[in-house]
Amino acid sequence: MSWQFYGRQRELADLVRVMSRRRFFFVRVTGRRRIGKTTLVRRALEETDRGQFFYVQIPDSAPSGVLSAVRDALLTFGIAEPSPPTSLLELAKALGHLMRAGYVVALDEFQYFSRKGLQEFLSHFQAVVDDLTRDAELVTGGLVVLGSLHAELTALLDDRDTPLYNRTTDVIELPHLDVASLLDMLDAHADPSPERLLFLWNLFEGVPKFYRDCFEHGVLGSDRRTLLARMFFGSSSPLRSEADSWFLSELRGRYDVILKYIARNPGCLYGDLEAHVRETSPETSEQVGAYLRILTDRYQLIERLLPVFAKPTARTGRYHIRDNFLRSWLSALQGSVSAIQFRPERILVEQADARLADAEGHAFERLVARLYGERSRAGVGDFNMTRQIGGFWDRKGIEIDLVALDEEQKHIRFVTCKRSPSELSGEPSRLDGHVARFLSSHAHLTSWKQERVACAPRIDLELRRRLGKQGLLVQDLTDLTSPLRSFSG
């Protein structure tokens, strides 16, 4: 079966609606690298039958490099008019000419126009966009700008002090694909076992290009080590340098110590991180707070999670890498892949696989929380979650993997998640103690209907029976995903 277009139906409908207006539009499409921005645009073009299309990826370079890329793209698309631009002013005018001629113009990695030396283009382009907007009813072409550095692209278009402020007509943001769409992929191209779903989700989360790369290399349905060897350890492996060519090259090594520590210690506290940096990189220790703000706000690579009901200014936040692929690369793959010239591939693959298995414990908690959210949004399953608190903790020593609230029905679930089902055997008494301490601190919830839930990727009938007798509701990945399969089907 050939690869299909999976998920993104809402975003596709939005973009098709924009392109079908047959008047000038200026759309911003944002999302991490490989998330499917260009695929979405191409699919929308097919559905709207827009035959005239021009696409160019803006390089992170001087004006000469940008102009060279544009000239190459004009040749690739067979566009003879207008003549190839030789300056940023001519580039702005040429793009305007194409849109007036009915072209949909797509500028990828548009955020690089914020670089020194390229900002001149924005002022020239403002005049072009304003002219097109004034003649919007007469202009059948339009503009799509795409970007993988969300904060920088947003600043270019939403900051009051920038030339293109308030010029966009529509905004589309592409998050990771939902789990329901990943299940559709696996149903079509691989064995959709709970173990495979967790392995791939921990490694790739919802980045469709990575799944397609595995499909095209014939390993999406292979065992773990075969997939890792083919995709990361060969000389021509497609994902061998993906992380470095994504954000790590953008960061130029300035934040490596912080990112690696958070990746290998998910949920770490500020004090732990600061102590580690002080020990391993003293010259960086005074900048930990500033670096965390940059990584959180500008690059959106990390997130700070707070305890339930805590104020945003609370100092008890815990830090996590937002992107599964980056976390897996830093915590499990980078070191092994970099040693490929010095150690046997088999040993390095085994090493990376073992580290990934360790990381799957944290990933499983996040996957369960994601599934609870998707089920509630789809209106399926046995619990309508209106609010979730993943990884609840406080200074009293309370640790609960997921606290799910149904505020409408006054229903609360306390969920414990274990990658290995054998670890659930001792959970009932441990979870009871943490729940009791939780409720003693949040007395307004004591009157709510309460359920304790045990989750693992796969749970056999005997363990289900034993946990059920101890008062736990039991859910594995088959239980959690079945309502989504029925819903999507």
Instruction: Name residue 211's amino acid.
Output: Y
The answer on pLDDT for 152 being more than 90 is no
Superfamily for the 9-173 domain: P-loop containing nucleotide triphosphate hydrolases (3.40.50.300)
* % of residues, the chain, pLDDT over 70: 93
What is d(CA 61, CA 13) in angstroms, rounded to the nearest whole number?
34
Where is mean pLDDT largest: 12-21, 242-251, 438-447? 12-21
Angle between helix 63-76 and 88-100 (nearest 10)? 30
Average pLDDT, the chain: 90
In the block, tokens 């001149």 appear at 120
Instruction: Name residue 128's amino acid.
Output: V
The answer on pLDDT for 329 being more than 90 is yes
Angle at 382 between CA 376 and CA 384, to 5 degrees: 35
Q: Which backbone phi and psi does 174 adopt, to 5 degrees?
A: -105, 105
What pLDDT does residue 396 have?
A: 67
What pLDDT does residue 25 have?
A: 97
Question: For residue 385, what pLDDT band results from cuts at 50, 70 and 90?
Answer: very high
What is d(CA 236, CA 218) in angstroms, rounded to the nearest whole number?
14
pLDDT tens digits along 158-174: 888 889 999 999 999 99
What pLDDT does residue 221 have?
A: 95
- Domain 383-488 top-level CATH class: alpha beta
Query: Can 9-173 and 383-488 be said to share one CATH topology?
Result: no
Q: Which backbone phi and psi does 120 adopt, to 5 degrees?
A: -55, -35
pLDDT tens digits along 249-273: 666 667 888 999 999 999 888 889 9
Instruction: Name every residue whose Cβ is closer than 8 Å to that of residue 111 and which is 6 or more positions away in sequence.
Output: 147, 148, 149, 152, 153, 156
Query: Who wins on pLDDT, 71 or 288?
Result: 71
> CA gyration radius for the chain?
25
What is d(CA 8, CA 174) in angstroms, rounded to the nearest whole number?
8
Domain boundaries, the chain: 9-173, 383-488
What pLDDT does residue 67 have?
A: 97
pLDDT tens digits along 453-467: 999 999 999 999 999
What pLDDT does residue 310 have?
A: 67
Instruction: Name every residue whose Cβ is closer than 8 Å to that of residue 458 and which is 6 or more positions away in sequence.
Output: 194, 195, 421, 476, 477, 478
Question: For residue 243, what pLDDT band results from cuts at 50, 70 and 90?
Answer: confident
Instruction: Name every residue whose Cβ is closer than 8 Å to that of residue 396 and which is 6 or more positions away in sequence.
Output: 437, 441
Mean per-residue pLDDT, 439-446: 88
What pLDDT does residue 170 have?
A: 95
What pLDDT does residue 32 have?
A: 86
Mean per-residue pLDDT, 67-96: 95
Question: For residue 489, what pLDDT band results from cuts at 50, 70 and 90?
Answer: very low
